[in-house]
Structure 1
Amino acid sequence: MIRRPAALLLTLLLGSVLVACGDDSSEEGSSGGGGASLESVSIEGEVGEAPEVTWDGEMSADEVESKVVAEGDGAEIGEGDQVFAQIWLGNGTTQEQAYSTYDADQPQLLTVGKDTLSELFLEGLQGQTVGSRVAVAASAETAFGEAGNPQIGIGNKDTVLTVIDLLGTVEDGPQGTDEKAPSWVPSLVGGDEAPTGLDFAGTPKPTGKLQTAVLVKGDGAAVEKGQTIAVDYLGQVYGGKKPFDESYSSQSTSFPIGVGQVVKGWDQALVGQTVGSRVVLAIPPALGYGKGGNEQAGIKGDDTLYFVVDILGAA
């Protein structure tokens, strides 16, 4: 129940882009021949910054074509890895930008796999190294399915160029030094690896102030205001019998921190923590959902929110 990014359109676009909506039997080359290849496109700029793309006429791609524009010296990305990436998409037929995550300066957290990525994006991630910039070209049908992606201005006969900057992978759990929990911290139910709830037996009543406890001190870099972080988390109101939200049973989530995209308690408590840490937060109503609470989640206006948060990565 953390507050999601305000740009809902971003989520909708990524949903249509990243889900492999085409199948292996789709006919490639729907853009036709005669256009320039990927080698004729100039892509300049530093990794992590919006690319400067110069076209040499209309582009075509009869099959998926990729090129490493700049090779990073980080770890190789494999099946199942979660990766922070910036994505630029262009229409090779009209030679125009179609979509870019650089506009909002918000890297996306992608899970590498055939079930989660279309062939266009899988080609740009799997087997590449962190720190790389990779360009991939394909027909719109191969990238998005028979309809193309008209929502971002790519028709089913167009060609798609994507530029992907691979900024870093994320941990699969806390990595660091265990710390002793203070007395106000509830016990974790279900084990340390993937908590399923919080047990408040024997814990004191909330103080009405924001409280933070580090259970694992991560050995990574400190989180900075404005970064996008990847986390697993579980939230439960004080005295509650079950969580109102959690990510351990599904996928890690990501969002900008310290800029008002999540509840104030998260912004105040997580900036400055180190990657790899597990922290427990007690958030008073004023720094959570306020006097109105969150009826949909069963949170009243006077509820104190307790979270366990694993900080898995930052970009």
Structure 2
Amino acid sequence: MSRRTTRLLSVLLVLPALILGGCGDESADEGAGGEGLSAVTVSGDFGAEPTVTWDGDFDPGKLETETLITGDGAEVEEGQQVFTRLWLGNGFTESKAYSTFGEDAKPELLTVGGDMTSAISAGLKGQTIGSRVVVASPPKDAFGEQGNPQLGIGNADPVLFVMDLVSVLPDGPSGSDEKPAGWAPAVEGDEKPTSLDFKGTPEPSDKLRVTTLIEGDGDPTEKGQTIYVNYLGQVYHGEKPFDSSYERGEPLDFELGAGGVVKGWDQGLTGIPVGSRVILAVPPDLGYGEKGNKDAGIKGTDTLYFVVDVLAAI
């Protein structure tokens, strides 16, 4: 249905096909003659880029974790997705390698217990929202034998992680129930939508239409924001959905207004309060046009109906 925007998170994943020789001495004993968190000083307020002072030979022999600021939010749970500000330092060169702090940068969405490095997992587990956590990591627990060429981190380089836990991505809408417009199909499914029922639904219009099922209690979305949504799509009188993120268990993120999704989404989801569940009726010219989408079974004359949960906007 749409294309995903490139995520900065990709540079944090281990790249098994790329192996970079360590900037440090790979034959050196891990942690020999060095220190972990005692060799650095990290200061600064939550949400602001940390100030890191390298005080000694940073070469931790094992993972070390310290909570510098304890947040008063909820404790994160296994499987939850957490918006996190990240600062990474190369312990060999004693320099910043990566940061998502700053006005123009956006936090990463990390899954607690997910496919992350051991160091990042250690910084998330058991923490509360609003916390700042620092992790000193030996090479094997940061990026493994491959290192991380994109960040200039070799396979023998220790890494310092500073993590600000900003918020949890909700798993569903939150707000007040609203009566949908008469043109809208019924949504089937108890907790999560499974399909749309078009029984009694009038013929579609050639205009984009939006109706609210749940009015979210968050701020309205704006163009240029990255929004996170769950959705289900079905053509008018279609027997089953042609796409569903609910079924995959993986929300979609995209930049609103950037053309990465069908025009009906860019237009219809702008100004929607975060936490809302809406139904969109997207005419062909704001969907896939005259060519349709053969792979999804969508003809050029099909009107597309979507139920969309707007989970977050950053």
State the number of aligned residues. 300
Counterpart of 2:3? 3
Counterpart of 1:106? 106
Shift of 1:312: 2.5
Corresponding residue SS for 2:248: coil
User: Which letter maps to 1:251?
Assistant: G
Corresponding residue SS for 1:171: coil
Counterpart of 2:146? 147
Of 211, 214, 220, the match for 1:213: 211
Shift of 1:14: 4.3
Q: Which has the larger radius of gyration?
A: 2
How far, CA to CA, are the matches of 1:90 and 1:299 in structure 2?
Answer: 48
Shift of 1:141: 0.9
Counterpart of 2:271? 272
CA 1:14–1:194 in 2, change beyond 3 Å: closer, same or farther? Answer: farther
Deviations 1:205-258 (A, max 9, x none): 221222111111223343344433332211122232222221112333252543
Shift of 1:278: 1.1
Shift of 1:280: 0.8
CA 1:306–1:118 in 2, change beyond 3 Å: closer, same or farther? Answer: same
Counterpart of 1:247? 245
Shift of 1:88: 2.6
CA 1:181–1:90 in 2, change beyond 3 Å: closer, same or farther? Answer: same
User: Which letter maps to 1:210?
Assistant: L
How far, CA to CA, are the matches of 1:211 and 1:30 in structure 2?
Answer: 64
How far, CA to CA, are the matches of 2:224 and 2:163 in structure 1?
Answer: 21
CA 1:250–1:110 in 2, change beyond 3 Å: closer, same or farther? Answer: farther
Name the TM-score, length of structure 1 as normaliser.
0.82
1:153-164 matches, within 5 Å, as 153-164=152-163
Corresponding residue SS for 2:121: helix
CA 1:210–1:130 in 2, change beyond 3 Å: closer, same or farther? Answer: same
Corresponding residue SS for 2:77: coil
How far, CA to CA, are the matches of 1:290 and 1:110 in structure 2?
Answer: 35
CA 1:56–1:279 in 2, change beyond 3 Å: closer, same or farther? Answer: same
Shift of 1:158: 1.1
Structure 2 unaligned spans of 5+: 16-27
Structure 1 unaligned spans of 5+: 18-28
Higher alpha-carbon deviation: 167-176 or 38-47: 38-47
Name the TM-score, length of structure 2 as normaliser.
0.82
Of 200, 209, 213, the match for 1:202: 200
Aligned residues of 1:140 and 1:154 also touching (Cα < 8 A) = no
How far, CA to CA, are the matches of 2:125 and 2:85 in structure 1?
Answer: 15
CA 1:137–1:286 in 2, change beyond 3 Å: closer, same or farther? Answer: farther
User: Which letter maps to 1:110?
Assistant: L
How far, CA to CA, are the matches of 1:46 and 1:238 in structure 2?
Answer: 52
Identical aligned residues as a percent? 53
Aligned residues of 2:227 and 2:256 also touching (Cα < 8 A) = no
Counterpart of 1:68? 67
Deviations 1:172-203 (A, max 9, x none): 222222211222111223x1412222222322
Aligned residues of 2:31 and 2:62 also touching (Cα < 8 A) = no
CA 1:154–1:182 in 2, change beyond 3 Å: closer, same or farther? Answer: same
How far, CA to CA, are the matches of 1:108 and 1:16 in structure 2?
Answer: 16
CA 1:16–1:303 in 2, change beyond 3 Å: closer, same or farther? Answer: farther
CA 1:99–1:124 in 2, change beyond 3 Å: closer, same or farther? Answer: same
Higher alpha-carbon deviation: 282-291 or 204-213: 282-291
CA 1:52–1:245 in 2, change beyond 3 Å: closer, same or farther? Answer: farther
User: Which letter maps to 2:216?
Assistant: G
Alignment RMSD, CA only? 2.8
Corresponding residue SS for 1:16: coil
How far, CA to CA, are the matches of 1:58 and 1:269 in structure 2?
Answer: 55
Counterpart of 2:25? none
Higher alpha-carbon deviation: 40-49 or 57-66: 40-49
Counterpart of 2:232? 234
CA 1:166–1:11 in 2, change beyond 3 Å: closer, same or farther? Answer: closer
1:281-292 matches, within 5 Å, as 281-292=280-291
Aligned residues of 1:64 and 1:138 also touching (Cα < 8 A) = yes
Corresponding residue SS for 2:58: coil
User: Which letter maps to 1:94?
Assistant: T
CA 1:178–1:38 in 2, change beyond 3 Å: closer, same or farther? Answer: same
Aligned residues of 1:30 and 1:139 also touching (Cα < 8 A) = no
Corresponding residue SS for 1:265: helix
User: Which letter maps to 2:226?
Assistant: T
Shift of 1:272: 2.6
